[in-house]
Amino acid sequence: MNSILLRGNFLRQSRIPRKSTGLSLFGGSLLRGRSFHNTPCRRIVKPYLLADIGEGITECRVVSWFVKPGDRVNQFDAICEVQSDKASVEITSRYDGTITALHHEVDEMAIVGKPLLDVDVDEEISAADEDSSPVAESPNAASESPAEMPIEPSTPSMSSELLEETPEPPAAKNSGLSAPSVKHLLKEHNLLLEDIPGTGKGGRVLKEDVQRYVASQAPPAPSAKPTISPPPEAQSTDQVVELTPNENQMCRVMTAALTIPHFGFSHSVDFTALNTLRQKFNKNNIHGQPTTPPKLTALPIVMKALSLAFSHHPKLNSHFNPESETGKPRLTIKGSHDFGIAVDTPQGLVVPVVRDVQNRSILSIAGEIKRLSDLAKQGKLTPGDMKGATFTVSNIGSIGGSVVNPVIVPPMVAIVAMGKTEEVVVLTGEKNEKKEVSTRQKTVLSWSADHRVLDGAAVARCAEMVGRMIEEVDGLGVILK
């Protein structure tokens, strides 16, 4: 079927094969082309929809944009960061093209399934692609309908110019191999890829290469003494603020926790032997591992003791559904010990999950705690990092406080909080023998349990077993799996 070059489509026919003769009306003669019967190559503006990130999330807050209208993007380039109630997610581009519009400002809420931005896509879009998602044609293409556009004759010079291929500019060094994080750093610091010495395979520029280059270009720190900033002025008027996504999630969870009858139990545990052991480990490098492990703290040892105790008291590692499908309350005792750890971040409290504690070594637990904590403080946790906890451990003592009243997060049935370790003067010695005065390092463990499914005696027995394992930590290795 013959095609006719129409005004308005002239400039968009930029990818005509070199051997095509084209089609024109000149002096009444009709020249037949070989390529114009195919799907037209159009420059289109494609809305980029916010994808479903799981967990039933319907909206996300736009934390930051990495692009602006007019910026060029390639596939997998980072375009923005969004935050749901549970995690922050970095959104990457699915297309090569130019950003034409951003639909949301920073801190606005974006709806799942609705456009985040518009991209002027470079490539041809097949009929299947056009049917699968909404497409807005470029304004020039939509300005006149085919019925209204007059046919203009083309001259031989115009046809020959149209059929000439425009050579593409040479690609920058390793630009196609650069990771999104590298491109984002280059854009952030206004650098060119060619200026960065690459240490990766084949001279590929790595993220560390960019960071080293930026550090080497940074001006020396001033030697002047830091000045003390004046205190902020007192606020004289009321201020209404919206809750952050983390605060919204906390509000919902804590409202649900009001239905739980909490039973509290606290006891003081001697951490002297545990602290001596971990300090010796950290100082003497006795781990025998080929790589240096993270600094050993008390938390992974306590988590391992909890897991061992749960093999004797499994009901504390459970989920409770007061209204199951049978219409009766149901307790599900979990086979895997997946412990949520409360982490304080600039964005608020988050609780990532260390999985399979029962099958991990203490060093493995310590490494996973560090990995999750680093991601949490960077705001890079995913929804998968924070779902499915079977028990929660809070190390509130790292901030302060001794005896606390932790709140259970449903559907879990128990939680424990570690208080601040303090030096305590005690009398030691066997019964009916002369006592000696000594100092010990004591930490209070505060437990809360769901009194609908756990009674006080069950919690106390489990807590005392955990306490004995901590106080006799030298023998803990004998029973470790």
Q: Give the residues across from 112 on adjacent strands.
A: none
The whole-angstrom separation of Cα 104 and Cα 106 is: 7
Between CA 104 and CA 90 the distance in angstroms is: 16
**Residue labelled with tokens 């409360």:** 342
Phi, psi of 276 (to 5 degrees): -65, -45
Burial of residue 25 (CB within 10 Å: 0-12, 13-18, 19+) is: middle
What are the backbone angles phi and psi of residue 412, rounded to the nearest 5°? Answer: -65, 165
Tokens 């909404």, residue located: 134
Known active-site residue 287: no
Residue 385 annotated among the catalytic residues of the structure:
no
Token pair recorded at residue 305: 């003791």
CA distance 277 to 386: 31
Strand, coil or helix: 250:
helix
CA dihedral defined by 24, 26, 30, 33, rounded to 10 degrees? -30
Q: Which of 201, 456, 246, 207 is nearest to 348 (CA)?
A: 246
Could you tell me if 415 and 375 are in contact, meaning their C-beta atoms sit under 8 angstroms apart?
Answer: no
CA–CA distance, 44 with 138 (Å, rounded to integer): 5
Contacts of 284 (CB under 8 A, 6+ apart): none
Which residues, 6 or more positions from 141, have their beta carbon under 8 angstroms from its beta carbon?
Answer: 8, 9, 12, 42, 43
At 22, give phi and psi (nearest 5°): 75, -165
**Residue 190 and residue 184: Cα distance in Å, rounded?**
10
Q: How many residues does the chain have?
A: 481
**Beta carbons within 8 Å of 319's beta carbon, 6+ residues apart:** 331, 332, 334, 390, 411, 412, 413
DSSP class of residue 290 equals: S
- Catalytic position from the list 122, 374, 455, 474: 455
Q: Three-state DSSP class for 268? A: strand
3-state secondary structure of 450: strand
Active-site amino acid positions: 451, 455
